[in-house]
């Protein structure tokens, strides 16, 4: 699968998770916000005008929420990786960029945002680690 400049972008997917290294983060949880850019070729979907030739972003958003709510992780980098691996299970996606924002991160000074970004592609061996969920059309 060759890399295309075509993308589907979802911004601001919100869900509660219990990720973090502090006990309070694990016990009380907090909101996480996720942005994803799916790199894929839209030519067939544009020709057919059929959802079967692209990614159903409603279903995608649901599995990302499930990944956020799944088993707690220490790092938002690990959460971003979990989500990237889930997205890459969709055959139409050649690569994905995932940004996980932790707006309530326990930082001792005022910050506007804390986030971690990963970019994974099939060509770089992006599929590998286990994931907590999959989505199916």
Residues designated catalytic: 102
Which tokens go with 33? 């916000």
Taking the C-alpha atoms of residue 127 and residue 112, their distance in angstroms, rounded to an integer, is 32
DSSP conformation letters of 25-53: HHHH-EEEEEEEEEE---HHHHHH--GGG
Nearest residue to 116 via CA among 89, 81, 66: 81
Backbone angles phi, psi at 9, to 5 degrees: -125, 130
Provide the 3-class DSSP secondary structure of residue 118: strand
DSSP strand pairing (115-121 vs 95-101): antiparallel
């Amino acid at each position: 699968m060759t890399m295309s400049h075509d993308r589907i972008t979802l911004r601001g997917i919100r869900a509660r998770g219990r990720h973090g290294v502090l006990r309070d983060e694990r016990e009380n949880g907090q909101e996480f916000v996720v942005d994803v850019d799916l790199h894929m070729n839209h030519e067939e979907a544009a020709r057919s005008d059929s959802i079967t030739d692209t990614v159903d972003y409603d279903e995608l958003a649901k599995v990302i929420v499930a990944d956020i709510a799944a088993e707690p992780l220490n790092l938002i980098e690990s959460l971003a990786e979990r989500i990237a691996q889930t997205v890459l299970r969709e055959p139409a996606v050649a690569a994905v960029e995932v940004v996980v924002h932790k707006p309530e991160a326990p930082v001792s000074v005022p910050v506007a945002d804390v986030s971690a970004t990963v970019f994974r592609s099939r060509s770089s061996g992006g599929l590998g680690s286990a994931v907590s969920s999959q989505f199916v059309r």
